[in-house]
Structure 1
Amino acid sequence: MSEDPDVVSRRIARESLDRDDPTGWFENLYAAAAGGSAVIPWDRGTAHQLLTEWVQESAPDGADKTALIVGAGTGWDAELIADRGYDTTAFDISPTAIETAVRNHPGSKVHYRVADLLAPPPDWPRAFDLVVEIYTVQALPIALQPEAVKHVTEFVAPGGTLLVIAAARPDDQPDDAVEGPPWPLTRATIQSFAGADLRLIQLSQSPSPADPTVLRWRAEYLRD
C-alpha cells in the first residue's frame, strides 16, 4: 500500500466514531487488513520492544500462574508471555484479529478469545497473576479511558502484576488538542491505574525507535 497506514487507520476510526461507535473501528481495520486494503500500524511481527525488555529484565516465571493480554491483536505479545510459562489468555474485541492471531500461531498454547474490555467476562476480575496492557486504552476516546483503566486494574489478582505500555503526552496538552486515534496517556492517566491496593512500583519514559519525538510509558504495578 502506498497510503500511510496511520492515515488509513484514522480514517476508518473516524468513520466509526462518526456513527457513535467508538470500538467498531477495530474490527473494520482488521477486516480491511485481512482483505489487503489496510495495514495494522501497530502490528510489528514481533512482541513489543518494551515488553521484550521487561521480560528480559524481570525474567518472570509463569509456572502455575495465569496471564491476560488486553487487546491481543495478532498475538505476538501473548506468545512471548506464554513462552514464559504462563497459562495465557489473550482477548480482542475484533473477531478478525483473533482469527489472524490463531492463524499466525498454529499450535499456540494461548487461549485466544473475542471479548470487550468495556464489558469483560464476569469471571475475570482479580483472576490473573500478570496483566499486560499495550496501546489498548490509548486507542479509545479520552472520555472512555477511565472506564477502560478501571477494568484493566480489576483483572489483576492479589499479589499480581500489571504492566502498561502506552504513548505519552504532556499533561498540559488539552484533550481537545489531541486528534486520535491514538489518544496518548498523560502522566495523570498512567497514575490512575494505581489504587488503594495496586501500587505503581516502576515508571519510565523512553523515545520510540521509529520517531524519537514520540515518548512511551512503561509502568509496572503490584497488587498487595
Structure 2
Amino acid sequence: MFEQQPQNLQLHVQQLANEALQKAEPSAWFEVLYAEAQGDTTQIPWANLAPHPYILEWLTNHQQFVRGQKALIIGCGLGDDAEALAHLGFEVTAFDISPTAIAWCQQRFPDSLVNYVVADLFAVPAQWHQAFEFVFECRNIQALPLNVRFGAISSVASFVAPGGTLLLITHVRDTEAEPSGPPWALSDSELERFESLGLQQVEKVLYRESEQFDVKQVRIEYQRS
C-alpha cells in the first residue's frame, strides 16, 4: 500500500501531485509518474502486478456473474484488475488518464480482450453514462484533492447502469477536516455523496491495515436500483 512504499518514492509522488495542483491540473501527475518510471514497476506505488486482493475476495464470495456483462475499470493502472474480470467473462473497458499506463497494459497483455482506453474521469465519453453493469473504482478518488472530489464522485456514479453494481475501495478518515496528501482519504460525507446520486449501499467491509498509523480502508458495494 502507499504508506508502505519507500519514503523517497512517497515524497516524489507528493511533489508531483503538488506541482499538478499548482497548475490546476490535479490528475496530470499520473502520466508524469508513469513516464518517468520507464517500465520500472517499482516506481509505481500501487503496481502490485496482481489483482487487488479485496476485489478478488468480493468476486469469490458473491453472485455468479452473467457472461458478457459490461464492466468498467476506473484508473486501470497496469491492468491486473481488468484482466481478472475479463477472465471471468465480463466485457471489460478499462481506462486511465495516462497514455503511458495504457500502452504498458497493452504491452503486458498483447492478446487481451480488454478494451484499454485513454480517458479523463472529468471528461468521459457520453456513451458511458449508466452503461456498465459493474464498475470498479479503486483508490483513484483519494488521489484527487478535495476541491474536485465531488466532481470525481459524480462521474464515477454516472457509469453505473440501472440494477448495476459499483465496487469501491478507498482509504477513509474519521474527520471532515481536510487531510494532508496524497492520498486524501475519504470522509463519511464524501461517501454519502454516492447515495445522493442514486446508489444504495449494499455492503461495507472495513480493513484496518496499520494499527500504528491508524490506516483504514473500506470496500463498499453500491447498487443502482
TM-score, normalised via structure 1 length: 0.91
Give the AA of the match of 1:144: V
Q: Which residue of 2 aligns with 1:204?
A: 205
Give the AA of the match of 2:188: R
Q: Give a deviation string over 1:152-208, Cα, whole Å, max 9, x none.
A: 111001110000000111124x11xx2211111112212211236421111121122
1:42 aligns with 2:42: no
Give the AA of the match of 1:217: V
Distance, in Å, in 1 between the alignment partners of 2:197 and 2:15 is: 39
CA shift in 2, pair 1:103/1:62, >3 Å: farther
1:14 aligns with 2:15: no
1:192 aligns with 2:188: no
Corresponding residue SS for 1:216: strand
Q: Give a deviation string over 1:131-165, Cα, whole Å, max 9, x none.
A: 00001111111110101100111100111000000
1:115 Cα deviation from its structure 2 partner: 0.3
The answer to whether the 8 A contact 1:201-1:221 is kept is yes
- Decide which moves more: 84-93 or 206-215: 206-215
Q: Which residue of 1 aligns with 2:78?
A: 74
Give the AA of the match of 1:207: R
TM-score, normalised via structure 2 length: 0.91
1:84 aligns with 2:88: yes
Q: Which residue of 2 aligns with 1:217?
A: 218
Corresponding residue SS for 1:219: strand
- Decide which moves more: 110-119 or 77-86: 77-86
How many residue pairs match? The answer is 221
Unpaired runs of 5+ residues, structure 1, are: none
- Decide which moves more: 186-195 or 110-119: 186-195
Distance, in Å, in 2 between the alignment partners of 1:209 and 1:104 is: 32
Distance, in Å, in 2 between the alignment partners of 1:31 and 1:59 is: 38
CA shift in 2, pair 1:136/1:159, >3 Å: same
The answer to whether the 8 A contact 1:90-1:111 is kept is yes
CA shift in 2, pair 1:209/1:69, >3 Å: farther
1:15 Cα deviation from its structure 2 partner: 1.9
Q: Which runs of 4+ in 1 moved over 4 A?
A: 35-38, 209-212
1:26 aligns with 2:27: no
The answer to whether the 8 A contact 1:69-1:91 is kept is yes
The answer to whether the 8 A contact 2:41-2:47 is kept is no
- Decide which moves more: 30-39 or 122-131: 30-39
Q: Give a deviation string over 1:3-36, Cα, whole Å, max 9, x none.
A: 6322221112122222222111010011111265
1:210 Cα deviation from its structure 2 partner: 10
Unpaired runs of 5+ residues, structure 2, are: none
- Decide which moves more: 39-48 or 121-130: 39-48
User: In angstroms, what is the RMSD of aligned CA positions?
Assistant: 2.1
1:88 Cα deviation from its structure 2 partner: 0.3
Distance, in Å, in 2 between the alignment partners of 1:191 and 1:197 is: 10
